[in-house]
Structure formats: C-alpha cells, structure tokens
Amino acid sequence: MPARQDVSKPNSVTPPMTIPAPLRAVFHALVYTIVPGALNLSGPDWEGLDQLVDGTLCTRPPSQRRQLRLLLRLIQWLPVLRYGRSFTSLSPDKRAAFLSYLEDHRVQLIRCGFFAVRTLALLGYYGRPEAGREIGYAPDARGWEALG
C-alpha cells in the first residue's frame, strides 16, 4: 500500500472565547435584527445566549472561527459604503434592509456568509430552553403520558 498523507490528530483542547469583545456588540445587533424578541432579553439571558454560541463555535475548526470574525467585521463596516454608518449605528429598519441585501446577494459566498451568522443568531436565541417554553415547546420524555 502506498505511503499515506499525515492526518492531524483530533484537537482535545478547548479553544478560547470565539467572538472577541469588540465584535460581540456587532453580533448582538445582528441577533436583535434577526430575532426582534431578543430586545427583551435580560443580562443573564444574553450570557446564556453567548455561552451557547461560544460552546458551538469551540467545536468548529479554527478556520471557521476566523471566517466568522471576518464576516462580523464586514457586516459592521460594509454599511458605511451604503448608508454612511456602521451596522451597529443603523436604525433597526436599515439594519434589516442591509441584512436582506446580504441574504439575497447575487454572490453565493455572501449569501452563505449571511446564512452562517443567521444560523448562529438563531442557535443562540432558540437554543435556550426559555425560548422553547416561550413558543410553547414543552417536550417531556414521558410523551403522551405527560399530557395527562
């Protein structure tokens, strides 16, 4: 059998916090725009949301985490060309309009980038058990029996 390529060993070390503090505000502004109900979240709720996002990103390859940071920077600064302001300085309507522009962009890579940050925002928000309860999702291992 021919010589084989080397294979990197699985990484067992948990990487550090994935979204640095300056970009955290951009991500939170994204979450507000994608899920307007996030405006009602308390401080501890946000901590829970951030932990879910960090916990998920920690399991992803470093390249994906780097791409996410780049994406957040682009989302923050690209609106300057279009609206003369950064994303976090825009009104809610303009933020939504800008994200719609990315979502429907003619370049597939940009659409995919938006889909990735949208997914993370939804994961953070709807991954919280409280969000499930708020929308009426109440699973129980007892199934039918729990309905009474």
Partner 1 sequence: MTRRAYDIVIIGSGAGGGTVAQELSPLCQQGVRIAVLEKGPKLRNEEFTGRELEMAQALYEDGGAFLTAERTMTLAFGSTYGGSTAVYTGTSLLPPERILKRWNVPGLTLVDLEPRARKYMAENNVHFLEAQHINENNRLFVEGCRRLNYRVQQFPVNLKGCRGSGLCNLGCPNQAKQGTNRVQLPQAERNGVEVITRCEVLRISERALSVWVSPKPPAARGEPSAWEPGECSVEAKVIVVCGGAVNTPALLLRSGLGRRLPRLGQGFTCHPAFIMVAEHPRPISNFVGHPKSFYLDEFAESERFVLETCMYFPFTTAKAIAGFGQEHSRWMAAFPRLQMILVLACDEADAYNRVTIDGHGRPVIHYRFTPDVIRGLGAGAARSAKIFFAAGAVRAHMPLGRPTTIESRDAGRVDRIAQRAEFKPGKVPVSAAHLQGGCAMGSGSEDSVTDSYGRVHGIPWLFVADSSLFPNSLQINPYLTIMALADRAAEAIREQAHTLL
4 binds partner 1 (CB under 8 A): yes
37 binds partner 1 (CB under 8 A): yes
Question: Is the Cβ of residue 23 or residue 102 nearer to partner 1 in the bound state?
Answer: 102
Q: What is the DSSP string of 6-69?
A: --PPPP-SPP--SS-HHHHHHHHHHHHHH-GGGGG--HHHHHHHHHHHHHHHTTS-HHHHHHHH
Which 8-state DSSP code applies to residue 86? -
Of 19-27, 42-50, 53-61, 80-88, the segment contacting partner 1 by CB under 8 A is 53-61
- Rounded distance, CA 102 to CA 49, Å? 24
The neighbour count for residue 53, using CB atoms within 10 Å, is 22
Please give the structure tokens belonging to residue 6.
Answer: 């080397």
Question: Is the Cβ of residue 7 or residue 81 nearer to partner 1 in the bound state?
Answer: 7
Length of the chain equals 148
- Rounded distance, CA 71 to CA 76, Å? 9
Q: How many chain residues interact with partner 1 (CB under 8 A)? A: 57
45 binds partner 1 (CB under 8 A): no
98 binds partner 1 (CB under 8 A): no
Of 16-24, 39-47, 79-87, 106-114, the segment contacting partner 1 by CB under 8 A is 106-114
From the CB of 6, what's the least distance to partner 1, in Å?
7
Contact of 113 with 71, CB cutoff 8 Å:
yes
One residue of 22, 47, 60, 80 binding partner 1 per CB under 8 A: 60
Q: Which residues of the chain form contacts with partner 1 (CB under 8 A)?
A: 1-10, 12, 14, 33-37, 52, 55-56, 59-60, 96, 99, 103-104, 108-109, 111-112, 114-116, 118-119, 121-123, 125-127, 129, 131-132, 135-147
